[in-house]
């Protein structure tokens, strides 16, 4: 499905070590998630000068004041979605497209939004280069409904609002999962998983402290 772009045995070895030490070694158990992280080249999603650090278990700057999340957090958030292969997934805050690529390997369709136009175009290039054909990426805010409409089996937010945005709740199908960091900008936020029950969101699970950029409103109309 994907075109791997390794071209460097050291990077391949570094990715295998990342998977063993920072994912499996820290408790990631979903085999499909582990395999996606093994197959998709993270170094293709970071600036060229940082490729040697692509498989360190930490965030890296990608421009626009944003970062690519550390591999463990990418794997953890993906695992919490409980994807089986045919889902329609919404991602908020696509950044450079790495998390998007992981989701595309595990779901039937990925709809992703990124508010920063430059990052959005960068992500499109990365995703096209590795052959992620089931992704629809738009330049938009998570505070807006998905431009194409419809609802989702799972939603992942890689940016943090102060509270769960009602628009995300409205787009989540019954039984769907929402994984999202909640909290103030510049401080430790809490990663939550919610499920959509008959009467609304239920089963709020606190998955620990994280740091993400804030979820931002769309720019005002000129």
- Which domains are present in the chain? 9-210 (3.40.50.150)
**Using CA atoms, how far apart are residues 196 and 221, in angstroms rounded to an integer?**
33
Average pLDDT over residues 136-148: 95
What per-residue confidence (pLDDT) applies to 218? 81
pLDDT band at 18 (very low <50, low <70, confident <90, very high): very high
Percent of the chain past pLDDT 90, that is, above it, reads 85
**Using CA atoms, how far apart are residues 116 and 93, in angstroms rounded to an integer?**
9
Residue found by looking up tokens 């990631």 in the block: 28
Average pLDDT over residues 203-216: 90
What per-residue confidence (pLDDT) applies to 176? 97
What per-residue confidence (pLDDT) applies to 219? 73
pLDDT band at 7 (very low <50, low <70, confident <90, very high): low
The closest of 107, 131, 102 to 36, measured between CA atoms, is 102
Please provide the average confidence, as pLDDT, over all residues in the chain: 93
Please tell me the least confidently modeled range out of 143-157, 173-187, 199-213.
Answer: 199-213
Average pLDDT over residues 110-139: 96
CA-to-CA separations, 100 to 10, 16, 113, 215, in angstroms, rounded = 24, 20, 10, 17
Average pLDDT over residues 51-63: 94
- Asked if 69 is an active-site residue, the reply is yes
**Using CA atoms, how far apart are residues 58 and 70, in angstroms rounded to an integer?**
4
What per-residue confidence (pLDDT) applies to 207? 92
24 or 5, higher pLDDT: 24
Buried b (16+ CB within 10 A) or exposed e, 52-64: eebbeeeebebeb
155-173: per-residue pLDDT in tens? 999 999 999 999 999 999 9
Percent of the chain past pLDDT 70, that is, above it, reads 96
Average pLDDT over residues 60-83: 95
Quickly list H helices, 84-172.
98-106, 117-130, 166-170
What per-residue confidence (pLDDT) applies to 148? 86
**Among the options 69, 104, 141, 157, which is catalytic?**
69
């Amino acid at each position: 499905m994907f075109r791997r772009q390794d071209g460097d045995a050291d990077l391949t070895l570094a990715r295998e070590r990342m998977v063993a030490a920072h994912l499996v070694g820290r408790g990631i158990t979903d085999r499909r998630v582990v395999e996606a992280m093994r197959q998709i080249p993270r170094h293709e999603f970071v600036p060229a000068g940082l490729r040697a650090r692509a498989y360190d278990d930490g965030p890296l700057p990608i421009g626009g004041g944003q970062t690519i999340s550390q591999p463990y957090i990418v794997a953890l958030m993906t695992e919490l979605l409980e994807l089986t292969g045919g889902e329609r997934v919404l991602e908020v805050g696509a950044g450079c497209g790495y998390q998007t690529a992981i989701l595309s390997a595990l779901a039937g369709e990925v709809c992703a939004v990124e508010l920063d136009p430059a990052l959005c175009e960068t992500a499109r290039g990365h995703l096209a280069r590795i052959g992620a054909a089931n992704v629809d990426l738009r330049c938009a805010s998570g505070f807006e409904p998905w431009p194409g409409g419809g609802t989702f089996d799972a939603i992942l937010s890689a940016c943090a609002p102060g509270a769960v945005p009602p628009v995300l709740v409205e787009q989540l199908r019954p039984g769907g999962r929402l994984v999202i960091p909640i909290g103030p900008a510049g401080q430790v936020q809490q990663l939550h998983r919610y499920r959509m029950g008959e009467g609304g969101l239920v089963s709020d699970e606190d998955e620990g402290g994280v740091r993400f950029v804030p979820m931002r409103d769309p720019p005002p109309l000129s």
